[in-house]
């Protein structure tokens, strides 16, 4: 059963969303807020021919768990935000504020068990999930899907290096110059004050302050402090984050913490779907192939929440 809802009703940036409820929802049920990866995204987190958030909502609601998904603020108001104050955009205004509003909306719904509201963050949303919890989401538990505890600039540089290694030799020299230039821009960010960072473009319409503000809230800080249940999932064919640099680093940060459970899925990509090309340079082709989120992943998430 799907209900249309509004996140942030009465605020400057109201967002359309869908609350997927178990059929014949008569008692208080657990619930989960879905938080998108990077870039503008709709409520289904549509990527190419795939809709991972819709898959998750349908599967979990069929197992007795309510799921709240909504359009990302930059999808609906991105142009407006850039026009008003382009250098001020951060993950706080882009993602965190709306995720906290979504959590509050669920906790105030009489059909939802307010003590069993969880967050599931995918990619950038997974990186931010522990911070969202600490800054006011106050969830019962945190699910990190294909996230990373590294700085966003480090991840982007790793992706660029991977693309470079997969290019023909004659293109590598040109691409390498661009990558060296980007690295120099990232290296300069730490020495900037807030005002300078808000005035300095890194690429496209993204300013240095976006990266600097995020770096001032390191993922490891929140992971090491939380005692809440944590479920950290990744596909071993994910070419946007890696098992060696990201999944292993989560394990290192959380070593000895009894509240954390890890699972790595053979053959799955960044969307927790079957990997086809296994190369970052082919990501557009990979995501044009219509697939569904792995049943095993969906069952593991449902079992963990219900436990």
Q: What would the pLDDT profile of 30-65 be if each residue is shown by its tens digit?
A: 999 999 999 999 999 999 999 999 999 999 999 999
Q: Does 299 or 279 have the greater pLDDT score?
A: 299
- Give 31's strand partners: 66, 117
Q: pLDDT category, 180, cuts 50, 70, 90?
A: confident
Choose the catalytic residue: 20, 36, 242, 270: 270
Q: pLDDT category, 217, cuts 50, 70, 90?
A: very high
Widest distance between CA atoms in the chain? 64
| Rounded average pLDDT over 133-142 | 98
Nearest partner of 74 among 55, 52, 57, 98, judged by Cα: 98
Assess if residue 212 is contained within a domain.
no
Within 8 A by CB and 6+ apart from 204, the residues are none
| Rounded average pLDDT over 286-292 | 94
CA distance 267 to 130: 27
Count how many domains the chain has.
1
Assess if residue 184 is contained within a domain.
no
Q: What is the pTM of this model?
A: 0.94
Nearest partner of 146 among 52, 257, 247, judged by Cα: 247
Assess if residue 170 is contained within a domain.
no
pLDDT value for 164: 66
Residue 55, domain extent: 2-151+218-306
pLDDT value for 163: 66
pLDDT one-digit tens code per residue, 18-32? 999 998 777 899 999
pLDDT value for 222: 96
Q: pLDDT category, 271, cuts 50, 70, 90?
A: very high
Active site residue 224: no
Active site residue 275: no
| Rounded average pLDDT over 228-255 | 95
Assess if residue 113 is contained within a domain.
yes
Assess if residue 291 is contained within a domain.
yes
pLDDT value for 27: 81
pLDDT value for 173: 72
Q: Does 103 or 181 have the greater pLDDT score?
A: 103
- Give 279's strand partners: none
Active site residue 123: yes
Residues recorded for the chain: 307
pLDDT value for 257: 94
Q: In what order do the strands lie in the sheet with 230-235?
A: 2-7, 15-20, 66-70, 29-35, 112-122, 142-145, 230-235, 260-265
Choose the catalytic residue: 42, 238, 242, 294: 238
pLDDT of residue 141 exceeding 70: yes
Secondary structure (H, E, C), the chain:
CEEEEEECCCCCCCEEEEEECCCCCCCCEEEEEEECCCCCCCCCCCECCECHHHHHHHHHHHCCCEEEEECCHHHHHHHHHHHHCHHHCCHHHHHHHHHHHHHHHHHCCCCEEEEEEEEEEECHHHHHHHHHHHHHHCCCCEEEECCCCCCHHHHHHHHHHHHHHHCCHHHHHHHHHHHHHHHHHHHHHCCCCHHHHHHCEEECCEEHHHHHHHHCCCHHHHHHHCCCCEEEEEECCCCCCCHHHHHHHHHHHCCCCCCEEEEEECCECCCCCECCCCCHHHHHHHHCCCCCCCHHHHHHHHHHHHC
Q: Does 269 or 175 have the greater pLDDT score?
A: 269
Assess if residue 196 is contained within a domain.
no
pLDDT of residue 106 exceeding 90: yes
Assess if residue 202 is contained within a domain.
no
Assess if residue 52 is contained within a domain.
yes
pLDDT of residue 78 exceeding 80: yes
Q: Are strands 201-203 and 206-207 parallel, antiparallel or unpaired?
A: antiparallel
| Rounded average pLDDT over 75-98 | 94
Choose the catalytic residue: 38, 61, 93, 123: 123
pLDDT of residue 242 exceeding 70: yes
Query: The CATH number of the domain where 262 resides is what?
Result: 3.40.50.1820
pLDDT value for 279: 72
Mean pLDDT for all residues in the chain: 93
């Amino acid at each position: 059963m799907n209900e249309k809802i509004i996140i942030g009703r009465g605020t400057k940036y109201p967002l359309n969303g869908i609350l997927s409820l178990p059929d014949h929802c008569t008692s208080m049920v657990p619930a989960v807020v879905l938080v998108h990866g990077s870039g503008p995204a709709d409520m289904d987190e549509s990527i190419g021919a795939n809709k991972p958030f819709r898959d998750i909502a349908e599967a979990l609601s069929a197992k007795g768990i309510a799921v709240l998904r909504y359009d990302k603020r930059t999808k609906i108001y991105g142009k407006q935000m850039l026009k008003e104050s382009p250098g001020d955009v951060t993950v706080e205004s882009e993602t965190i504020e709306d995720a906290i509003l979504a959590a509050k909306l669920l906790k105030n719904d009489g059909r939802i068990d307010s003590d069993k509201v969880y967050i599931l963050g995918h990619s950038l949303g997974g990186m931010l999930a522990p911070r969202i919890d600490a800054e006011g989401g106050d969830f019962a538990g945190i699910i990190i899907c294909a996230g990373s505890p590294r700085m966003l600039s480090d991840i982007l540089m790793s992706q660029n290096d991977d693309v470079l290694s997969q290019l023909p030799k004659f293109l590598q020299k040109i691409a390498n110059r661009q990558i060296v230039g980007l690295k120099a821009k990232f290296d300069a960010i730490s020495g900037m004050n807030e005002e300078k960072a808000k005035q300095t473009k890194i690429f496209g319409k993204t300013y240095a302050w976006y990266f600097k503000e995020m770096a001032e809230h390191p993922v490891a800080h929140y992971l090491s402090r939380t005692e809440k249940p944590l479920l950290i999932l990744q596909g071993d064919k994910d070419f946007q984050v890696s098992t060696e640099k990201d999944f292993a680093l989560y394990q290192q940060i959380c070593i000895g913490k009894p509240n954390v459970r890890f699972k790595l899925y053979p053959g799955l990509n960044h969307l927790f779907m079957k990997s086809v090309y296994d190369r970052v340079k082919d990501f557009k082709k990979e995501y044009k192939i219509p697939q569904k989120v792995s049943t095993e992943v969906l069952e593991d998430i449902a079992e963990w929440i219900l436990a």
